[in-house]
Amino acid sequence: MRHAAVTYGAALAAMLAAGCGYTPPGKPNPADRPRTPAQITDFDFLFQQNCTGCHGDDGKFGPAPPLNDPIFLAIVPDAELLDVITNGRDGTPMPAFARRLEGPLEEDQIKIIAEGLKKHWKSSKLSEDKLPPYTVAAKDEATSTADTEAGKKVFARACASCHGDNGQGSSEGHKPGRINDPDLLSLMSNQTLRRIIITGRPDLGMPSFAEDDGRPGDYQPLTSEEIDALVALLASWRNQPRSGATVTLNVRK
């Protein structure tokens, strides 16, 4: 099922307009966020009050990656959940929630949320051993040209049918849209790119690494190395010129 066109960038812009507490990457403004009273220990309430604005009601259909996703919950390490909620992700809209970082939550509330995600939404049917590992090889933005070249080949078989040969978006009237967009990619860490390629966005109609929907007939699931090569390719698109803005500088003496 394809959901109404919600792109990450557009949704983030809408969140900004609605003043939902989003602040630009790297500039947390914790004072704007509601304080959660320390005695509240109910997962549903904590999640609702602190997370749904970005991750969506029930952990799906938000502008940020879905947390209520069986593949994601099968592969994400518990320590990573605790770490990202405590400290946020630098350079992305994911804020730090720990009080000592001026966030709104106590340590034990963060623990209740981190553990609650798997308790509430993890499926017992999926086994981690059959899935690619969660952690991305290149955490930083820098990726090698060899990886980027390998990524292009994988992109052609696994992504181009929907996103266009170079990620420029489909020429057909309907979505999906452009993903070689520096403004979109600069809001997403390499870890999130890897995760999106593994899990897809079932809420928006993007298939997982293993599903052949909308892909060539002989499609085979992506390997872990192929996924990292794709991350390298998408990361390299962060550095291309902004859309429509070919800037020429005329320097006069």
Residues that bind ligand HEC (CB under 6 A): 5, 7-8, 22, 50-51, 53-55, 64-65, 67, 72, 81, 84-85, 89, 92-95, 97, 113, 158-159, 161-163, 175-177, 179, 188-189, 191-192, 195-197, 201, 204-207, 213-215, 230
CB 138 within 8 A of CB 235: yes
CB nearer ligand HEC, residue 5 or residue 146: 5
- CB closer to ligand HEC out of 108 and 251: 108
Residue type at 224 in one-letter notation: S
| Half-sphere exposure for 29 (CA within 13 Å, toward CB) | 8
Kindly tell me which of 72 and 150 has the beta carbon lying closer to ligand HEC. Answer: 72
Closest approach, Cβ 72 to ligand HEC, in A, equals: 6
- Which CB atom, from 92 or from 166, has the smaller least distance to ligand HEC? 92
| Cβ(2)–Cβ(214) below 8 Å | no
User: What is the nearest approach in angstroms of ligand HEC to the Cβ of residue 240?
Assistant: 15
Q: How far is the CB of 145 from ligand HEC (least distance, A)?
A: 18
Q: How far is the CB of 131 from ligand HEC (least distance, A)?
A: 14
Rounded Cα distance, 16 and 25, in Å: 12
Among 117, 119, 132, smallest CA distance to 75 is for 132
Residue type, 78: D
